[in-house]
């Protein structure tokens, strides 16, 4: 039945509504301090570690529940990634971190990376105090928390550095941010990645909108030009060596890390969309959609929200639900045309129940449903309906 309908976008896609303003304010990670707009969150992580002078013979603490894209930037510095435990709700296990920081011999821990999973804040004051007590840096991974109010401060305000992924929150083909509330970023100089990248970003941003039935008028107006572009593109692709990638792997949902993107600025088109977007609108709609899904989920057998409530100040990335039979539920939802993300699945090689039973469970059982600001009411209704059907049959 769903095949006759447009697909539902997992991530925000551009439409005219993307530029609507909403009264009121909402802070973004960019408000936390100095910022550099790069092409991905993983590049921002690598830059933060580079600024901190992290290198071989040192350790960087990462959560045992994680995105595979967080590990290669650590390895690129030469440091050893080490995984700390999280609780059943993905909260950082402060006792486990303290134990790892206190180890007297061997490689020194330089950085603790704390991830605000799905937009829900980690215990920042406690993490900050722990890091200060041991003289290590705190890196806030705000890949899931571009917008928020964490005890009156924007995401990223507690860390030495923060890394964010603007493409997870805005209708962008690429985009990340390195932010620091505590250190200057004068040494982080960026340059334009070139006309091929600028063009590819602009066209992909539009075409993703078109693919999901947005910007119909523009699509018709641009159709002749886009046909020409497709021809030119194919000709170009045939001639180009594969090494000369026009865009980073991060833009095509890969986990790879390519240091050639470390000094590249986010595309003009992405920076414009970011500047013209209203964080208040994004936060209000994401919260509304999240609460609608929470309502749809209530009482369904075999699944429950990861978090019992949506606290004030949280602007969710996805709606995380915990399923008893995640493979079956994911299959049923995908069959019904509902896109989803299995964040942290699989975990980095070697991270398992022995490292952290909760991380292993979260990795297997959590499904992330879209709740972004560009979902239409009809699309949300389809997701809710598919959930009810998938859970009850």
Ligand X SMILES: *Cc1c(COP(=O)(O)O)cnc(C)c1O
CA separation for the pair 392, 125 (Å, rounded): 42
Binding to ligand X by residue 41, rule CB under 6 A?
A: yes
Closest approach of ligand X to the CB of residue 299, in Å: 30
Of the candidate residues 11, 52, 70, 329, the single one contacting ligand X (CB under 6 A): 70
Residue number, 215 or 257, with CB nearest to ligand X: 257
Could you tell me which stretch among 23-31, 37-45, 147-155, 216-224 binds ligand X (CB under 6 A)?
37-45
Residue number, 168 or 214, with CB nearest to ligand X: 168
Residue number, 170 or 215, with CB nearest to ligand X: 170
Of the candidate residues 58, 93, 141, 374, the single one contacting ligand X (CB under 6 A): 141
Closest approach of ligand X to the CB of residue 176, in Å: 5
Closest approach of ligand X to the CB of residue 334, in Å: 20
Among residues 274, 44, 315, which one has the least CA distance to residue 163?
44
Binding to ligand X by residue 42, rule CB under 6 A?
A: yes
Contact 139, 160 (CB under 8 A): yes
Lookup: tokens for 306? 């990861």
Contact 265, 193 (CB under 8 A): yes
Binding to ligand X by residue 289, rule CB under 6 A?
A: no
Binding to ligand X by residue 154, rule CB under 6 A?
A: no
Within 8 A by CB and 6+ apart from 66, the residues are: 83, 115, 344, 347, 348, 351, 359
The DSSP annotation for 295-319 comes to HHHTT-TTEEESSSS--TTB--SEE
Within 8 A by CB and 6+ apart from 325, the residues are: 302
CA separation for the pair 329, 392 (Å, rounded): 10
Binding to ligand X by residue 67, rule CB under 6 A?
A: yes
x/- contact string, 181-220, with ligand X (CB under 6 A)?
----------------------------------------
Residues in contact with ligand X, total (CB under 6 A)? 14
Cβ-based neighbour number of residue 149 at 10 Å: 18
Binding to ligand X by residue 165, rule CB under 6 A?
A: yes
Among residues 171, 370, 126, 343, which one has the least CA distance to residue 270?
171
CB-neighbour burial class of residue 242 (10 A; exposed 0-12, middle 13-18, buried 19+): exposed
x/- contact string, 269-288, with ligand X (CB under 6 A)?
--------------------
Closest approach of ligand X to the CB of residue 342, in Å: 12
Residue number, 167 or 387, with CB nearest to ligand X: 167
Cβ-based neighbour number of residue 19 at 10 Å: 12
Residue number, 250 or 382, with CB nearest to ligand X: 250
Residue number, 93 or 382, with CB nearest to ligand X: 93
Binders of ligand X among residues 236 to 265 (CB under 6 A) are 250
Q: Put residue 326 in one of left, alpha, beta given phi > 0 → left and psi -120 to 50 → alpha.
A: alpha
Residue number, 337 or 370, with CB nearest to ligand X: 370
Of the candidate residues 15, 18, 28, 69, the single one contacting ligand X (CB under 6 A): 69
* Residue carrying structure tokens 């799905």: 118
Closest approach of ligand X to the CB of residue 13, in Å: 17
Could you tell me which stretch among 21-29, 138-146, 153-161, 384-392 binds ligand X (CB under 6 A)?
138-146
- Residue 226 to residues 2, 79, 202, 204, 229: CA-CA distances in angstroms? 27, 45, 12, 11, 5
Binding to ligand X by residue 160, rule CB under 6 A?
A: no
CA separation for the pair 108, 210 (Å, rounded): 50
Closest approach of ligand X to the CB of residue 175, in Å: 7
3-state secondary structure 250-271: HHHCCCCCCHHHCCECCCHHHH
CB-neighbour burial class of residue 321 (10 A; exposed 0-12, middle 13-18, buried 19+): buried
DSSP 347: P
Binders of ligand X among residues 76 to 115 (CB under 6 A) are 115
Residue number, 92 or 143, with CB nearest to ligand X: 143
Could you tell me which stretch among 65-73, 132-140, 196-204, 264-272 binds ligand X (CB under 6 A)?
65-73
Could you tell me which stretch among 64-72, 76-84, 329-337, 355-363 binds ligand X (CB under 6 A)?
64-72
The strand pair at 176-180 and 303-305 is best described as unpaired
Q: Which residues of the chain form contacts with ligand X (CB under 6 A)? A: 40-42, 67, 69-70, 115, 141, 143-144, 165, 167, 176, 250
């Amino acid at each position: 039945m769903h095949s006759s309908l447009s697909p539902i976008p997992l991530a925000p896609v551009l439409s005219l509504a993307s530029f609507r303003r909403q009264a009121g304010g909402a802070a973004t990670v960019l408000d936390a301090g100095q910022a550099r707009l790069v092409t991905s969150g993983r590049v921002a992580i690598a830059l933060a570690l580079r600024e901190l002078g992290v290198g071989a013979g040192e350790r960087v603490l990462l959560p045992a529940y994680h995105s595979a894209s967080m590990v290669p930037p650590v390895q690129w510095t030469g440091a050893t990634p080490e995984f700390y435990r999280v609780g059943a709700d993905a909260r950082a296990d402060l006792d486990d971190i303290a134990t790892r920081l206190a180890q007297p011999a061997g490689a020194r821990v330089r950085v603790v990376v704390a991830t605000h999973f799905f937009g829900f804040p980690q215990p920042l004051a406690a993490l900050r105090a722990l890091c200060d007590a041991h003289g290590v840096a705190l890196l806030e991974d705000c890949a899931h928390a571009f917008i928020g109010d964490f005890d009156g401060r924007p995401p990223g305000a507690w860390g030495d550095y923060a890394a964010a992924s603007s493409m997870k929150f805005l209708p962008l083909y690429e985009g990340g941010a390195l932010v620091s509330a505590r250190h200057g970023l004068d040494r982080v100089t960026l340059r334009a990645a070139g006309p091929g990248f600028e063009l590819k970003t602009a066209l992909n941003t539009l075409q993703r909108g078109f693919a999901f039935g947005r910007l119909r008028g523009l699509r018709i107006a641009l159709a002749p030009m886009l046909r020409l572009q497709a021809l030119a593109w194919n000709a170009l692709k045939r001639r180009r060596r594969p090494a000369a990638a026009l865009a980073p792997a991060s833009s095509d949902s890969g986990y790879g890390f390519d240091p050639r993107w470390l000094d590249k600025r986010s595309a003009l088109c992405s920076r414009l969309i970011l500047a013209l977007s209203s964080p208040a609108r994004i936060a209000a709609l994401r919260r509304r959609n999240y609460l609608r899904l929470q309502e749809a989920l209530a009482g369904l057998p075999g699944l429950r929200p990861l978090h019992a409530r949506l606290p004030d100040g949280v602007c969710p990335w996805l709606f995380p639900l915990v399923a008893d039979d995640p493979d079956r539920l994911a299959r049923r939802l995908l069959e019904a045309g509902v896109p989803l993300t299995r964040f942290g699945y699989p975990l980095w090689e070697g991270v398992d129940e022995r490292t952290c039973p909760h991380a292993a469970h979260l990795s297997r059982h959590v499904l992330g449903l879209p709740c972004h600001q560009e979902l239409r009411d009809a699309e949300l209704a389809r997701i809710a309906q598919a959930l009810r059907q998938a859970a009850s049959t």
